[in-house]
Amino acid sequence: MQEISSARIEFTSAHVFLGAFVAACAIAAVLIGSFPLGASIVTIFLFAGVHNVMEFRYFVARMPLRWGRSRVFYTVGIGGVIVLAASYLTLYFASGNWLWSSESWAVFAASWNTAFVLWLGLLFYLRGKQRPKSDWAWAFPAAFLLAALAWIVPQYWSLALVYIHPFVAMWFLERQIRRTRPDWLRAYHFCLASIPVFVVTLWFAIGSQPNLSEDTNLFWRITQHAGSQILPGISSHFLVATHVFLESIHYFVWILLIPLIDRRAIPWKLSEIPLFRSKGGFPKLVGLALAVAMAVAIALWAGFSVDYTITRDIYFAFAIGHVLAEFPFLIKML
């Protein structure tokens, strides 16, 4: 008699993670696609400051007490963040000055982009020197190519950074899963593969919708941030929805998913921070820095409640600091 056996599917936590991710993205895509302007306002109000606190908390936990052979890497990384952020804010707040013509502003903006990509190229090169039998000198030709693009098509370069930034958080999560939950890695790759599917679905669902209203200063800023002026042939309804969808994933990666798979990123577990717990560390300084970060997040909520438009402008200006800070820590994880 032939024995018949039936295959049994074993559900694991990785399957639950995949299903929850796809379901959350589906719900988000429907809501954001239906109400893109409202979704932009609500997500920034609720999550912008909180995700910055969680991101800062993660970076503090990953900073070693002693830099050792990584001293040059961290010096270049932190120094670059400070210099580039300061110069960016100078450009941002001085752009309305009557002494600046549009041509001079464009030159200084392209110069900043060039410094940014060369800094990234240097970080990749320094990281490659720390890895045995690795030669990452290719980083410099790649940086020069990107710098050339920043001069040739500056408007598209700037817009590309807006849409690429959310994926940096997803890359962080991928590297962290490799370290702490490798059994989830394949499921997470399926999660990443689902994101283009949702974007294409948004395109077919709302790509032919008329442009969003720009009746108010706030609505105009939201549509401009998503690239409606640079890409006039594409519905701003789709552009804003896509940008908010990607940013929402970015927020929840930092707020929920990274703490879920890395206990060092859980906010209240200060004992997991080397700078806090180690002998010779700086517990008071770390505690003060985290308290200030939380106070800033609360101040953002208050500012959004009083004058959303102005607070949004100020937030996005200073947010360049956290955008830049992501790169040294990400490259160090490679």
pLDDT grade for 36, boundaries at 50, 70 and 90: very high
Mean of pLDDT over the chain: 90
Give SS3 for 135. Answer: coil
Residue 5 pLDDT:
47
Tokens of 199: 């974007």
Domain boundaries defined on the chain: 36-63+74-95+151-329
Distance CA 37, CA 228 (A): 13
- Whole-structure pTM value: 0.91
* CB distance 240 to 223 below 8 Å: yes
Q: Residue 70: what residue type?
A: S
Tokens of 185: 């890695």
pLDDT grade for 101, boundaries at 50, 70 and 90: low
Closest by CA position to 259, among listed 167, 164, 169:
169
Q: Residue 23: what residue type?
A: A
Q: What is the distance between the terminal CA atoms of the chain, rounded to a whole angstrom?
A: 55
Q: Please report where in the chains the tokens 């294409």 appear, as a residue.
A: 200
State the greatest distance between any 2 C-alpha atoms of the chain, in Å, as a whole number.
92
* CB distance 79 to 327 below 8 Å: no
- Altogether, the residues listed in the chain come to a count of 334
Q: Please report where in the chains the tokens 């009557």 appear, as a residue.
A: 98
CA 5 to chain centroid, in Å, comes to 48
Chain segment 21-34, per-residue pLDDT in tens = 999 999 999 999 99
Contacts of 150 (CB under 8 A, 6+ apart): 110, 113, 114, 117, 157
Chain segment 108-153, per-residue pLDDT in tens = 888 999 999 999 999 999 999 888 878 888 999 999 999 999 899 8
Burial of 200 per CB tally in 10 Å (0-12, 13-18, 19+):
exposed
% of the chain surpassing 70 pLDDT: 95
DSSP code, position 209: S
Tokens of 70: 């990584």
Q: Please report where in the chains the tokens 């997803």 appear, as a residue.
A: 170
